[in-house]
Amino acid sequence: MKLSVAALMLFTAACVEKKAAPAPDSATASATDTTKHSLLPGEAYLAVPEGKIWYRVVGNGGGTPVILLHGGPGFGSYYMKPLEALSADRPVVRYDQLGGGASGAFTDTTKMTIAHFVAELDSLRSSLHYHKVHLLGHSWGTILAVEYYRAHPEHVASLTLASPALDVPEWERHTRELEKTLSDSSQRAIAKGEHDKNFESPAYQNAINEFYGKYVWLRPDSVNLDSTFKTANMTIYNYMQGPSEFTITGTLKRYDAKPFLKDIKVPVLFTVGEFDEANPVTVKKHAAMTPGARYYMIPNAAHLSEWDNPTAMNQAIGTFLKDVDAKSKKN
């Protein structure tokens, strides 16, 4: 793969349009033409101030709806498809944040902010007429989940923070440690790529792929992985994250949610893969900082636990969401 995606890390009323493709053939198609394919059942587009976002709703169970927040930023939600199994109990909303996946173009860097993506998420929630939702964020999506809760706590029933990127300086420090576990040739390639600021060289990309195979995915879904790369918006990714997993230079570089964790008053579940670059030690520490939070390490999985062990991930999250709903009904 050619893109340095940083492992998908670290991603008032609106009208719904009925023309467009949920999965265009290329990143260019995603950015410039969302009207030449037919939508599938449950899919739609929602107009937001800077363009339009693709979303899909599956399930009609009686549980509180859950909205999935994918990683990136600048990528799509393809890799989160396994979490649609949660729809056995509740509506599940999977959407692509503006600029990535099947959503419309987004090139204005002045709008590439946490506040923009929070407002976009609130437009989606409001358009679906959901007063309260569970938020399930993964990687960069955990930043979005926490910041949405800080802005709109009245609309959040719970937070599931999967493979969280809540302390970006610590994330970068840990990935530097993981870098040392790579082959000598990969370590040299990373050092040279960073020195030359050449992140597209074959040697550098091979090093990144070695890292991915250890700490990002163990059993990738090749079809959805291909879609993820083809529809990635690297302008957003580079602006907010940076050029590589190990060199974070974007606007999220100093993001640290630790001071906010003690103030979260809704139920929280932290999950992390056994071999996750998010680091089980770090995630367990963050769970301990969050009042009443649950922690679950997903065995035999790396960062994309949705692919590596979807059964264990869905079971842990499904149980948590049902417990939260049951407690809410009692109150």
**Sign of CA pseudo-dihedral 203, 76, 153, 89:** negative
Q: Identify the CA nearest to 305 among candidates 269, 254, 253.
A: 269
Mark whether 139 is an active-site residue.
yes
Number of residues that make up the chain? 331
For 31, residues 6+ apart whose C-beta sits below 8 A from its C-beta are 99, 104, 105, 106, 107, 233
Mark whether 276 is an active-site residue.
yes
Beta strand spans in the chain (E): 16-17, 43-48, 51-58, 66-69, 92-95, 133-138, 156-162, 268-273, 294-298
Mark whether 174 is an active-site residue.
no
Task: Give the whole-angstrom CA distance, residue 225 versus residue 249.
Answer: 25
- What is the SS3 assignment for 13? coil
Q: Identify the CA nearest to 162 among candidates 285, 99, 300, 68.
A: 68
Kindly report the number of other CB atoms within 10 A of residue 285's CB atom. 16
Query: Of residues 96, 276, 308, 325, which has the active-site annotation?
Result: 276
Query: Of residues 139, 163, 244, 305, which has the active-site annotation?
Result: 139
Query: Of residues 303, 305, 308, 325, which has the active-site annotation?
Result: 303
Cite the active site residues.
Answer: 139, 276, 303
